Amino acid sequence: NAGVTQTPKFQVLKTGQSMTLQCAQDMNHNSMYWYRQDPGMGLRLIYYSASEGTTDKGEVPNGYNVSRLNKREFSLRLESAAPSQTSVYFCAGRTGTTDTQYFGPGTRLTVL
Amino acid sequence: DQQVKQNSPSLSVQEGRISILNCDYTNSMFDYFLWYKKYPAEGPTFLISISSIKDKNEDGRFTVFLNKSAKHLSLHIVPSQPGDSAVYFCAAEETSGSRLTFGEGTQLTVNP
């Protein structure tokens, strides 16, 4: 089992460029999540998908969109990147509502 | 508003001694609490959890204590080892919900 995988690992964008961060899991997770981690601010939830076919906003959704392509895949899109979106992005999945969330290794994004 | 707070950004202890990491929360609807550990360039990994019906949960060297009246939880690591050096995140959720709220994290350094 690969667990939760994320691509790419690193990315540098210019202001205004767009990109999609990919996340896939092979752990049969029902719920999937996108977080960003910034110094001194912990992990903040951007969007989540409680089940296949549903998505909901988290704490900091502005500037992002998501797609739950199927049960395995949950992508995060930045339509017009801004320097404030420079961060480390983590995808996570969980099977049941109180089960452990399993995290991917992260994508380090820099927006110039 | 920050519903889960870790007021100590960093903690340094000697190998073999006890490490105590603290976390406070404000949302009285939270009834499930978790600690995650994060090494550099990796995703967070689950460490230990506690339900609000308990006041203590132990797993090897790790013990989590919950004081519901004070809305406070703590993680004790005894004895501390250099390999425990990492960022520790406290997280909380309502079991009826599907999302975690994380604290800012505490960088623990265990000196040999």
Condensed to tens digits (0 to 9), the pLDDT of residues A61-109 reads 999 999 998 999 999 999 999 999 999 999 999 987 667 899 999 999 9
Cα–Cα distance between A102 and B35 in angstroms, integer? 13
Are A94 and A103 in contact by the 8 Å Cβ rule? The answer is no
Do B44 and B37 meet the contact criterion of CB atoms below 8 Å apart?
yes
* C-alpha angle B103-B106-B108 in degrees, rounded to nearest 5: 155
How does strand A31-38 pair with strand A42-49? antiparallel
Residues contacting residue A92 through CB under 8 Å, at least 6 positions apart: A4, A32, A33, A35, A101, A102, A103, A104, B43
Residue-wise pLDDT for B28-56, tens only, equals 999 999 999 999 999 999 999 999 999 99
Structure tokens that stand for B85 in this block: 């050096």
Closest CA to B38 of A55, A59, A62, A103: A103
Amino acid A1: pLDDT: 67
- Rounded distance, CA B76 to CA A82, Å? 40
The greatest distance separating any two alpha carbons of chain A, rounded to the nearest whole angstrom, comes to 39
Beta-carbon separation of A42 and B95 below 8 A: no
| Closest approach of B43 to chain A, Cα-based (Å) | 4
- CA nearest A51 in B: which residue? B98
Of A41, A97, A98, the CB nearest to B104: A41
What's the token pair of residue A62? 């502005």
CB–CB of B43 and A31 under 8 A? Answer: no
A 10 A CB-CB count for A59 gives 15
Over residues B96-104, the mean pLDDT reads 86
By CB atoms closer than 10 A (0-12, 13-18, 19+), residue B36 is buried
**What span, in angstroms and rounded, lies between the C-alpha atoms of A39 and A98?**
27
Residue A39: closest C-alpha in chain B = B104
Using CB atoms, pick whichever of A40, A58, A100 lies closest to residue B99. Answer: A58
Q: Is the pLDDT of residue B85 over 90?
A: yes
The whole-number average pLDDT for the span B49-75 is 97
